[in-house]
Amino acid sequence: EPEVTQTPSHQVTQMGQEVILRCVPISNHLYFYWYRQILGQKVEFLVSFYNNEISEKSEIFDDQFSVERPDGSNFTLKIRSTKLEDSAMYFCASSEAGITEAFFGQGTRLTVV
Amino acid sequence: AQTVTQSQPEMSVQEAETVTLSCTYDTSESNYYLFWYKQPPSRQMILVIRQEAYKQQNATENRFSVNFQKAAKSFSLKISDSQLGDTAMYFCAFIHAYSGAGSYQLTFGKGTKLSVIP
């Protein structure tokens, strides 16, 4: 069964450093998303990506964040100058069409120290 | 903006019993989709069940079923014959059926932690 794959599963980084979280969406999917879940809290939307560009972003997704789909298969989230409050689980998701089921990856646990 | 409310932070149920998790939502749209996602201790988000707002018939998926009350904006999840593997966080989520911006972001509730007791 096709699945969304995220790497790494756990990333520890020093405050102020840049991190890149990687995702391989399901191959025939057209919509891509990043969500964040701070420990013990609800899952929050960060950004959606469609037709090779950002289609929508939340208030959380400020200039510190960027996304790329560099090679037609990977979908990355870059976080610059990480802060302690960026520590969270980051989920990548993809869907074939907008309203069809969004498949989630297993998440990347980011810990900023 | 739409909101999703799950009023039960934690619940427990005896193995083999039935449990119902509550969810209410608020939207001015008439066409949308509702989901229940399960997040076990592994933290992966797994779709449990989905309901189209235009369908009056409640969705069912094996031991999982929903009670969708569109007028009341209520979308509860019933788990029958609860199993130990059902222990997880359960999130109710909402998505609009149409987005001109090409984004179909999910709006999640805060979740209900379900524990199945042997």
Residue in B87, B101, B100, B84 with CA at minimum distance from that of residue B39: B87
> What are the two backbone dihedrals, phi and then psi, of residue B84, each rounded to the nearest 5 degrees?
-55, -35
Q: Is the pLDDT of residue A107 over 60?
A: yes
Mean pLDDT of B82-109: 85
Q: Which of A91, A99, A103 sits opposite B104 (nearest CB)?
A: A99
Q: How would you classify the pairing of strands B88-96 and B10-14?
A: unpaired
Task: Fill in the DSSP letter of residue A40.
Answer: T
- Whether the CB-CB separation of B53 and B30 falls below 8 Å is answered with yes
Alpha carbons within 13 A on the beta-carbon side of A41: 13
Distance CA A100, CA A53 (A): 20
Nearest to A76 by CA among A40, A46, A42, A39: A46
Over residues B12-41, the pLDDT tens digits come to 999 999 999 999 999 888 888 999 999 998
The side-by-side arrangement of strands in the sheet containing A5-7 is A5-7, A19-24, A75-79, A65-68
Q: What is the pLDDT of residue A91?
A: 96
pLDDT bracket for residue A41 (50, 70, 90): confident
B37 contact residues in A (CB cutoff 8 A): 104
Q: Which two structure tokens, joined as six digits, stand for B6? A: 């799950």
B interface mutation test: which of A101, A104, A110, A111 has the most B CBs within 10 A?
A104
User: B1 CB near a chain A CB, below 8 Å?
Assistant: no
Contact A43 B91 (CB under 8 A): yes
More confident residue, B2 or A92: A92
B101 touches chain A (CB under 8 A): yes
Question: Any chain A CB within 8 A of the CB of B43?
Answer: yes
Tell which of B54, B55, B94, B105 to mutate to test the A interface (max A CBs under 10 Å).
B105
Chain B residues closer than 8 Å to A26 by CB = none
Question: CA distances (Å), A40 to each of A7, A10, B62, B77, B116, in order?
Answer: 22, 17, 29, 21, 19
Q: Check B43 against A44: CB less than 8 A apart.
A: no
Query: Does the pLDDT of residue B111 top 90, yes or no?
Result: yes
| Pair of tokens at residue A85 | 């409050």
Among A7, A3, A99, residue whose Cα is nearest residue B31:
A99
Q: State the pLDDT at residue A101.
A: 81
